[in-house]
Structure 1
């Protein structure tokens, strides 16, 4: 066949419905046209194996930092532009053979249920029922029956922390090319699994998730199977689609069904084995443990997990920093060295920048968006460092308050890399305690930590799910419900092909 014509489109944002923050269109940093290939996905450029296998055309893709619900205005404006640009691609080049749907899977839009499925239906109205659609997703996304119907292929990451992001996206594109060359839509088996757990209990570093995801490749290797994927689901949104799921695609019905059902049973049978990735405790208990740790266990990392901005937290909850500054142990500059990352405070940052490094300032920061747990925190300290031009934070300032080095930002920012600290003249490896708004430690932090604990702190991504008050998730659901009247139905549901009507309730 001639080189197929494939478009690229999608919106990605992991969205907590338990934070008051909102996500705007600008937060997606949308890329358009050729920039999608040249700046975001060079593995699709001419001269690469995938780039030479098809004619790829970017419509619009956007990836927002996790946060609060996407505003309806933002969604409508970006979705409308995607539709318009797809029309333009078709007008210029002819009918599309396929589309790579570049999403996360846990985006929530104000007033819209199952927003990725809604977006894909709008795309389908443009590209037609015959075009094949391949979606790449985060394993913390959600796969509704409607989404599984609208897409022909769905795959997701197989690691958490996610070290296979590019590999997953390339796999989604390879699978699409394989189906187009074969000239056949794959069979799709979908199994919803009534489990909803946070990522901090399902890291693939640890059992049982390690074994569950190791089994994915074994299923995929069976004759007649093209792809296998397991979604943990996203725990901090309150929607009926939020739960674990398995999708297996391929050509041989029996192999596809057996693979899907085996993965679903493996997940369900392990439900009581999922534990947090590190010792847990209240924030006070974590600080006590860090102070009691000897030199061989420092730096001691603490996850201020309830306001993790890369899980959907607003990032400006001040509860943790407030509790930290109340401790007597850290009030003198000679106390144990603590780095705290971070709290947004635009006015505080502006005051510190005007004063300059070395100046002593009194500022208030945080709680401009999420004041449900604590109000603004007031700090009097010495300006230790200033950095401008960060992609996420804009401007960063470090204030030394006693022995605490608190990072304040103009805009919220995740701190995952050693250079995030060293560029601020901070030395995390030499600190006694490093406190980061995060859940499980990302690889570089994990490598630096001599010991660590997961602080069960409040916020929009509270690890104590029952404290959040879900109302719309399907019940029974583990671990919200410990006793099920009967075992769940883990049989494979073969979803109609996308060019066939979907009937029945979206289970």
Structure 2
């Protein structure tokens, strides 16, 4: 069999509709051609998968999570993908690399729109395999537009690249197929079912039960003869769209088996809905600070507090100033003998003022609250410039301003702080700090290993962990936990395969 021609395309962003931030062109790294091919190490020339097909990289847009995407930006990328697919085809397959929680201003179900445009461009015979984040949402229209679909199985997402490779492996396996197999016969069945559960990611870490055991079921399902792939999407809670809920898709050639497995899996998730708990003990910011400050002088460091409501890697704007204002107002933190690190707020004007003052100079600036001003706008930060670091590929210029014991990290552009080196590059030693407050939810691996103790603060912002106070108006109801006493839902999967009539399993 001749090597198949397989296109590569996608747009990946996780975007909160509860954040006023708008993701424009500045938010996206757009790759085409060889640069896009090189994004995937497992597709390098000379590797098994790299040589298994003629790879045609089209366009991929990747953004740090944020607010909804500007409609013109999305449409420009979508249309270029569709036009180039139509012009450079035909294709045997397409690898669609998406996140699954993209929101676009004025539009609902953006991934389904993208997948539908891709399908129209490549035609009915091309097999499409989609790779997604488990915090994506799988609507019926998205499921219909693709043939194969899978997602991460770990949160934190330590298996992100493994998942993309699995999506490509599944696509190649179907394209290789038995000699003489017709294109229609290569298409597996999808057993698709949504579960009316919407939970924040910080309640669904696979480090803990019940998510740990639920995801551990997947290899046993995949091992069954007639099943190709099984996937469980926790869903994305900070978008207000009907598609936002958990989902299961079991893919395989045995439609009856795929349907029964998807139903059993979905039922297990529903039964466990009340067992999902936050990945760490929680409290208000004041409660978390009280506990951190009450420890004795010989306590191990650092005490890490997640400033979860403005987590930029979940869609927060990254400039909510509320937590920094609370830190500056604490009398105990006016003592320079302590070290408290806050990461971070992006504010280019405050950065420019600190640069003008220079290291050791005094500054009196208003910081943050310019994009997302709730529940307060900019806060006054008076102190000394501790360090200036230029050329960060994500954040641009970064300054640290010390006020009492508070070391406030201010960036020129939005940046998450997940690595120890993110701090040490600024002249800070997070291991020796008394308290590290970081805009994050569950801790990424290096921070998790670093923390001597850890609390998750339920702070305000576009990704507020308290979903009930956000004000969802467009999700499908009833939905747990919004309707805690709702009756058991109908979890019969829909069986679908391109060219066949959909039916309930």
Q: Which residue of 2 aligns with 1:73?
A: 72
- Alpha-carbon contact 1:17-1:108 (below 8 Å) kept: yes
Whole-Å Cα distance in 2 between the matches of residues 89 and 501 of structure 1? 31
Whole-Å Cα distance in 2 between the matches of residues 18 and 428 of structure 1? 31
Establish whether residue 57 from structure 1 lines up as the match of residue 56 from structure 2: yes
Q: Which residue of 1 aligns with 2:490?
A: 489
CA displacement 1:405-435 (0-9 Å, x = unmatched): 1100111110000000000000000000000
Whole-Å Cα distance in 1 between the matches of residues 265 and 348 of structure 2? 47
Establish whether residue 226 from structure 1 lines up as the match of residue 221 from structure 2: no
State the TM-score, normalizing by the size of structure 2.
0.96
How much has 1:475 moved relative to structure 2?
Answer: 0.8
How much has 1:46 moved relative to structure 2?
Answer: 1.8
How much has 1:358 moved relative to structure 2?
Answer: 1.3
- Alpha-carbon contact 1:358-1:382 (below 8 Å) kept: yes
Q: Tell me which of 235, 246, 249 is aligned to 1:247.
A: 249
How much has 1:379 moved relative to structure 2?
Answer: 0.9
Q: Which residue of 1 aligns with 2:411?
A: 409
Whole-Å Cα distance in 1 between the matches of residues 45 and 284 of structure 2? 53
Q: Which residue of 1 aligns with 2:443?
A: 441
- Alpha-carbon contact 1:366-1:376 (below 8 Å) kept: yes
Instruction: Report runs of 4+ in structure 1 exceeding 6 Å deviation.
Output: 501-504
Q: Which residue of 1 aligns with 2:30?
A: 30
User: Which secondary structure does the structure 1 equivalent of 2:65 belong to?
Assistant: coil
Q: What are the ranges of 5 or more consecutive residues in structure 2 without an aligned counterpart?
A: none
Establish whether residue 395 from structure 1 lines up as the match of residue 397 from structure 2: yes
Q: Tell me which of 293, 298, 301 is aligned to 1:298.
A: 301
Whole-Å Cα distance in 2 between the matches of residues 96 and 75 of structure 1? 24
User: Which secondary structure does the structure 1 equivalent of 2:49 belong to?
Assistant: helix
- Alpha-carbon contact 2:342-2:437 (below 8 Å) kept: yes
How much has 1:446 moved relative to structure 2?
Answer: 0.2
Whole-Å Cα distance in 2 between the matches of residues 453 and 297 of structure 1? 15
Establish whether residue 470 from structure 1 lines up as the match of residue 472 from structure 2: yes
Whole-Å Cα distance in 2 between the matches of residues 26 and 205 of structure 1? 34
How much has 1:440 moved relative to structure 2?
Answer: 0.5
Whole-Å Cα distance in 2 between the matches of residues 66 and 121 of structure 1? 23
- Alpha-carbon contact 1:11-1:28 (below 8 Å) kept: no
Establish whether residue 47 from structure 1 lines up as the match of residue 46 from structure 2: yes
Whole-Å Cα distance in 2 between the matches of residues 17 and 136 of structure 1? 23
Q: Tell me which of 307, 315, 320 is aligned to 1:317.
A: 320
How much has 1:45 moved relative to structure 2?
Answer: 2.0
Establish whether residue 101 from structure 1 lines up as the match of residue 96 from structure 2: yes
Whole-Å Cα distance in 2 between the matches of residues 84 and 422 of structure 1? 45
CA displacement 1:212-237 (0-9 Å, x = unmatched): 00011111111111000000000000
Q: Which residue of 2 aligns with 1:263?
A: 265
Q: Which residue of 2 aligns with 1:347?
A: 349
- Alpha-carbon contact 1:25-1:75 (below 8 Å) kept: no
Q: Tell me which of 218, 235, 239 is aligned to 2:237.
A: 235
Whole-Å Cα distance in 1 between the matches of residues 75 and 229 of structure 2? 32
How much has 1:456 moved relative to structure 2?
Answer: 0.4
How much has 1:273 moved relative to structure 2?
Answer: 0.5
RMSD: 1.3
Assess, with a 3 A threshold, how the Cα gap between structure 1 residues 82 and 153 changes in structure 2: closer, same or farther. Answer: same
How much has 1:264 moved relative to structure 2?
Answer: 0.7
How much has 1:501 moved relative to structure 2?
Answer: 7.4
Q: What are the ranges of 5 or more consecutive residues in structure 1 without an aligned counterpart?
A: none
